[in-house]
Amino acid sequence: MSQAALINPSILTWSRERAGLTAEDVAKKMPTKPDRVLEWEAGESKPTFKQAQHWASIAHVPFGFLFLKEPPAESLPLPDLRTLGGIAPERPSLNLLDTVKDVLRKQDWYLEYLQDQGSEALQFVGRFTTQASVKEVVADIRQTLGVDPEASRLNYDAYLRTLIDAAEMVGILVMRSGIALGNTRRKLEVAEFRGFAISDRLAPVVFINSADADTARLFTLMHELAHIWIGSSGISDGGSPGGRREETFCNAVAGEFLAPEEHFRAAWTNGIDWHENLAPLAARFHVSTLVISRRARDLGYISSDQYGTYYRHILRAFQEKDGGGGDYYRTAKAKNSSRFSRAVIAETMSGRMLLRDAGRLLGVQPANLRIYADRLTE
């Protein structure tokens, strides 16, 4: 008979609930009966070492955690700027926690890399405060990024890609993913967060939750970039027109950047169904109809309920699309940021970094790194 693992039963319950799993979920994955799972959690019996190791894998915790006397204290390593009815959420999900920690791990590596290279601080990071004029901040972002959708005749998708490329060109890592740690079973929830920013004078990072509707990500990008310009780090929901001052200010900057108020008001047609304004203004400002509806909400043309209904319709349609698995290398490039990936590949090709370590950092199999390096130029 296999030896029983002398784990702490209360840690089993904590780890299961932390991972958002029911006893039935764990039983199915083990596999065993739900009653057996409840017996373990009640301390009436003990799992074997092999079962305990499997439990740790299922619950995404280090095996050693199961032997602790009490659960470790956990909190988001970034300021939590999210609000729900004016109140910050009580506890972040495991997927959000692991995503933030993974991004911070990559930023730490990149920061050390830049320091070794003797890189200089980025002057635009923290150049303004929330006391600044929104239009002044927008003008500075425009000048720094140098993107003109009118001159380039950009459509929405091209505008988003061009802005991401421009942000990376000036030194900002832009990372995008809809799953935690590359695990397709660990989907990030849009209702929990839409993005976050990590402000740093050398290695600023913007993360976009790509589980959100594709047409919503442009606004999230600009919202998080605004955080960089005011030197503010934090997790954003980007949903409500209210919230904390930093969130309100960054929403205003994003809205003014994408659809300047003066031009928006001049282009909006009153006396017709508000939906009829969306497509013409989306074409006028090179953004999505969702961005236009949000701007209309913020400027008082439609109510929050009207915008919310429209957003949920767009999000549901996006989630119901059969997008398939996508391109492996394109997904890895978005998840890691092109700038970060090139730095890791450069260190690997120079022999200063092991293939194994590079693969672990990028979440790419070491055998695929050369192909990944070639695909970065696309």
pLDDT in tens, 77-129: 888 787 655 555 667 888 999 999 999 999 999 999 999 999 999 999 999 99
Can you tell me the distance from the alpha carbon of 348 to that of 160, in angstroms, rounded to the nearest whole number?
30
Task: Work out how many domains the chain is built from and give that number.
Answer: 3
How high is the pLDDT of residue 322?
58
Query: Whole domain around residue 208: which residue ranges?
Result: 94-320
- Shared domain for 354 and 251, answered yes or no, is no
Read off the tokens for 227: 């955080």
Query: How many helical (H) and strand (E) elements, i.e. helices and strands, does the chain have?
Result: 18, 6
Tell me what the mean pLDDT of segment 5-29 comes to: 87
378 CB-near residues (< 8 Å, 6+ apart): none
- Shared domain for 160 and 213, answered yes or no, is yes
185 CB-near residues (< 8 Å, 6+ apart): 179
Residue 74 resides in a domain: no
Q: Cα 368 vs. chain centroid, distance in angstroms?
A: 25
- Shared domain for 186 and 251, answered yes or no, is yes
- Shared domain for 206 and 312, answered yes or no, is yes
Whether 359 shows a pLDDT value over 70: the answer reads: yes
Which pLDDT tens digit goes with each residue over 289-329? 999 999 999 999 999 999 999 999 999 999 888 555 678 89
Query: What CATH number is given to the structural domain containing 42?
Result: 1.10.260.40
- Shared domain for 147 and 294, answered yes or no, is yes
- Shared domain for 277 and 133, answered yes or no, is yes
- Shared domain for 117 and 33, answered yes or no, is no
pTM: 0.88
What letter represents residue 295's amino acid?
Answer: R
Least confident of 3-12, 94-103, 210-219, 251-260: 3-12
